[in-house]
Amino acid sequence: MIIQVTFPDGNIRTFDAGTTAMQVAQSISEGLARNVLAALIDDQIKDASTPLSQDCTLQLLTWSDAEGKSTMWHSSAHLMAEALEFYYPGIKLAIGPPVTNGFYYDVDLMEYSISEKDLEKIEQKMKELAKLKSPFVRQEISKAAAIAYFEEKQDPYKLELLADLPDGSITFYTQGNFTDLCRGPHIPDTGFVKAVKLTAIAGAYWRGDEKNKQLTRIYGITFPKQAELTEYLERVEEAKRRDHR
């Protein structure tokens, strides 16, 4: 079956049904494909590996798009979680979304504690893991199998999140040695993350309810180039100086 794909400039091209958004990018140019982080298909953000099954609108998302940045920061939260599990095995992970500037992950550190001075080694581990270019692999999973996975991990937060999800709507994402309950989407692989800064540690109640346990929230931001991180940190410092004045 042949499908019609409409691009943001109104241009329409035809492809075989089942062609992925990334394959569409490759058909346009290898340079574009190397920069694609995700795809906006009929106004929904999806993995670039998503097959196009019917006529649709398509925008290939890169770092210059807000949705591209958000996807990379979401993936960076997973990368940080993998680094945290490396140094602090047995911690319990709650949620790790993207935010306006970067991302955070809420973590139950159990018997461990983390201070500002630990952030640098976690950053280094994230960079090390990023260099492996591990693909983000999506897996549709039954509710029973998902529950079994997190029961084995003894993760009460993921089990509580799973309780609210209908069977047939549950997906896992795996990169490297880390698997998480997640709707996605994610960047194609960890290699897009070139610069990392973990910016703050705070407390946060599980589900924002002070009757619940207080978790540790670790904030960070990532960029595809070190120069962009340097520029960002300079802007933050300048803003602080202006506030102080």
pLDDT in tens, 148-158: 999 999 999 99
Residue among 241, 221, 237, 181 nearest 76 (CA): 221
Given a contact cutoff of 8 angstroms between Cβ atoms, the answer to whether 134 and 190 are in contact is yes
pLDDT recorded at residue 212? 95
Q: How many residues does the chain have?
A: 245
**For the segment 168-187, what is each residue's pLDDT rounded down to a tens digit?**
999 999 999 999 999 999 99
Q: Tell me the three state secondary structure of residue 122.
A: helix
Q: What is the dihedral of CA 136, 36, 20, 170, to 10 degrees?
A: 40
Strands 56-61 and 2-6: parallel
CA-nearest of 32, 38, 107, 25 to 70 is 38
CA angle (52, 185, 20) in 5-degree steps: 20
Domain 2-62 and domain 68-244, same fold? Reply is: no
Confidence band of 245 (pLDDT split at 50, 70, 90): low
User: Could you say which architecture CATH assigns to the domain 2-62?
Assistant: Roll (3.10)
Mean pLDDT within 85-99: 97
pLDDT band of residue 163 (cuts 50, 70, 90) is: very high
Domain 68-244 class, CATH top level: alpha beta
As a whole number of angstroms, the distance between CA 70 and CA 35 comes to: 15
State which amino acid sits at residue 26: Q
Q: Is 64 helix (H, G, I), strand (E, B) or coil?
A: coil
What are residue 87's phi and psi, to 5 degrees? -85, -30
**What is residue 241's predicted lDDT score, i.e. its pLDDT?**
87
| Residue 2 in this model has a pLDDT that exceeds 70 | yes
The tokens describing 32, both together, are 């574009």
Quote the CA–CA distance of 135 and 49 in Å, as a whole number: 11
Q: What residue spans define the domains of the chain? A: 2-62, 68-244
Using a cut of 0.75, tell me whether the model's pTM lies above it: yes
